[in-house]
Amino acid sequence: MLHLEICSPTALTESVVAVLGEEPTVTSLTVQRGAALRPIGDLVSADVPREAANAILHRVLETGVQQQGSIRVVPVATWVSRPAFDAMVEAPGASTDAIVWPQVVQRAYDDTELTWTYLAFMVMATLIAGIAIVLDSQILVIGAMVLGPEFGAIAALGVALLRRRRTLLQQAVRTLVIGFSVAMAITTLVSLAGRALGWVERSDLLAPGKATAFIYTPDRWSLVVSLIAGVAGVLSLTSGRTEGLAGVFISVTTIPAAANAALAVAFGLWSEVVGSSAQLAINVSGMALAGWATLWLRQAVWRRLGARGRGLRRPHDDPRGA
């Protein structure tokens, strides 16, 4: 269940209320006249099932209320209401499967913002991955994967392509390119310093039977894993269930590949530079492509549901409808 809070200019309040009042899945519709001071107007609130939110928000946006006022979409963790449960039964599909596009697009913009914090995490993750490669430690590789913040920007590529958001696409590409470039440049400098101090030697990277050799030796499974990870990651982000994201982070070798390329540059191991760069490109492009395809498929399936109700439960089957 989602709670809508709309700060509406007085002139648009009746249009907003009319839209919400016509929707059978809207419950707890409330209007507080004169409650808004900037802009001067009213506060309109309502509860809607997540699976009906896109259609309702689309109609509300057509009133233009967002141009002068605001629309807030707030997830409701716990609710007890017979009308609300009846509305969930009436709405097509399941809440977990629904994509609330305003939420998805906003999160995509947030995750692709190039900030000092983002760059700091990229640098730290890449440095840890570099240490993991030198020590041949898979545990440290996993730690670097989890620490890396790049997946949000990669997922945003799929969102931008599907929703035709040119600005978002440019922002995501810029964040990824600058983020990886800065992280790899700093890791290369640190590697050169370690080489000069004798802390890291060429043999550390060329030791036979290294457990981290997969980082710079991409194969067909690299693409398969990246595609599966892209699907899983986008499903986790758009459904609001992020339990699977940690598994996504440690399944693809974006950060470790960048770290190994930086180390290889410092020691002149150009074959490993090529292999690591290929691994990085495969993972990023595979996840972005899988994310786009997943979003496209979910959108197509959701549209096919149309106005059909779920018919999976009756109100008396759930204590929230009691």
Task: Domain ranges for the chain, please list them.
Answer: 2-97, 104-302
Q: What percent of the chain has pLDDT over 90?
A: 38
238-253 average pLDDT score: 63
Q: How many helices (H) and strands (E) does the chain have?
A: 14, 4
What is the model's pLDDT at position 309? Answer: 44
19-47 average pLDDT score: 92
Say which residue, 297 or 10, is predicted with more confidence.
10
Residue 50 has pLDDT above 80, yes or no: yes
Contact 315, 89 (CB under 8 A): yes
> Three-state DSSP class for 73?
strand
What is the model's pLDDT at position 249? Answer: 61
What is the model's pLDDT at position 242? Answer: 58
From the options 3.90.1150.10, 3.40.50.1110, 3.30.428.10, 3.30.70.240, give the CATH code of 2-97: 3.30.70.240
How many CA atoms, within 13 angstroms, populate the side-chain half-sphere of residue 223?
4
Please state, in angstroms and rounded to a whole number, the distance separating the CA atoms of residues 51 and 109: 23
Residue 322 has pLDDT above 60, yes or no: no
Please state, in angstroms and rounded to a whole number, the distance separating the CA atoms of residues 142 and 153: 20
Residues 6+ apart with CB under 8 A from 165: 105, 108, 159
Q: Tokens representing 55?
A: 């259609």
What is the model's pLDDT at position 230? Answer: 84
What is the model's pLDDT at position 304? Answer: 66
Please state, in angstroms and rounded to a whole number, the distance separating the CA atoms of residues 249 and 233: 9
Sheet holding 27-37, edge to edge: 27-37, 40-48, 2-9, 70-75
What is the model's pLDDT at position 106? Answer: 86
Banded model confidence at residue 240, pLDDT cuts 50, 70, 90: low
Q: Tokens representing 53?
A: 């939110």
220-224 average pLDDT score: 86
Q: Torsion angle, CA of 305/309/312/317, rounded to 10 degrees?
A: 150
Amino acid in the structure at residue 284: V
Residue 132 has pLDDT above 70, yes or no: yes
Residue 303 has pLDDT above 70, yes or no: no
What is the model's pLDDT at position 64? Answer: 92
CA 19 to chain centre: 30
Please state, in angstroms and rounded to a whole number, the distance separating the CA atoms of residues 106 and 237: 12
What is the model's pLDDT at position 198? Answer: 87
Please state, in angstroms and rounded to a whole number, the distance separating the CA atoms of residues 71 and 236: 24
Supply angle C-alpha 287, 291, 296, rounded to 5. Answer: 150
Q: What is the chain's mean pLDDT, rounded?
A: 84
Banded model confidence at residue 312, pLDDT cuts 50, 70, 90: very low
Q: What is the pLDDT of residues 170-213, one digit of tens each?
A: 999 999 999 999 999 999 999 999 999 888 888 878 776 677 77
Residues 6+ apart with CB under 8 A from 278: 218
136-171 burial: b if 16+ Cβ within 10 Å, else e:
bbeebbbbbbbbbbbbbbbbbbbbbbbeebeebbeb
